[in-house]
Amino acid sequence: MIEMMLEAERAMAVGRLDQAERYYAQVAAADPKNSIAVVGLARVALERGDQRGAWTFARRALALDPDNPMASHLSQRMAEIMRGRGEALPDEPGRIGAATAPSASPPASPATPPPTAESAAARPGLVDRLLRRRR
């Protein structure tokens, strides 16, 4: 399990998002309570530009481990960004899509273009920039 997590991190570091996603998904399937693997899936979604998917996976990780700081910060940051664009979040009463729990996999986003190796390479550190705390 640890070896797969290390391979996933290595793949993320060099922009191999499909490979990283495969490893994180394998770990999450083998150990459904592994919030770190689910946060990894959130990071993959974020690197692909799928902020709603990142938020969904981060919320799932928080449900598994409410004390996971990365899941908490990622969830809050993605929610802030989506609210800033006027998007509804599934767990907010009075908004479109209320009372929908995060699913095992995020919904497909038709507005998100398919990722390419060039687009991933052109955005190094996107996760770090988006997760930076405001000062």
- 95-120 average pLDDT score: 43
Please report the domains of the chain, with CATH numbers, ordered by start residue.
Answer: 2-89+114-131 (1.25.40.10)
SS3 of residue 110 by DSSP:
coil
pLDDT band (50, 70, 90) for residue 129 = low
* Backbone dihedral region for residue 103 (phi beyond 0: left; psi -120 to 50: alpha; all else: beta): beta
Mean pLDDT, rounded, for 18-28: 98
Separation of alpha carbons 123 and 135, rounded Å: 23
pLDDT of 32-49, one tens digit each?
999 999 999 999 999 999
And the tokens for 27? Answer: 């770990």
Q: Which amino acid is at 50?
A: D
Q: How many CB atoms lie within 10 A of CB 16?
A: 17
| Average pLDDT in the chain | 79
Whether 81 and 55 have beta carbons less than 8 Å apart is answered as no
pLDDT of res. 122: 47
Per cent of the chain over pLDDT 90 is: 63
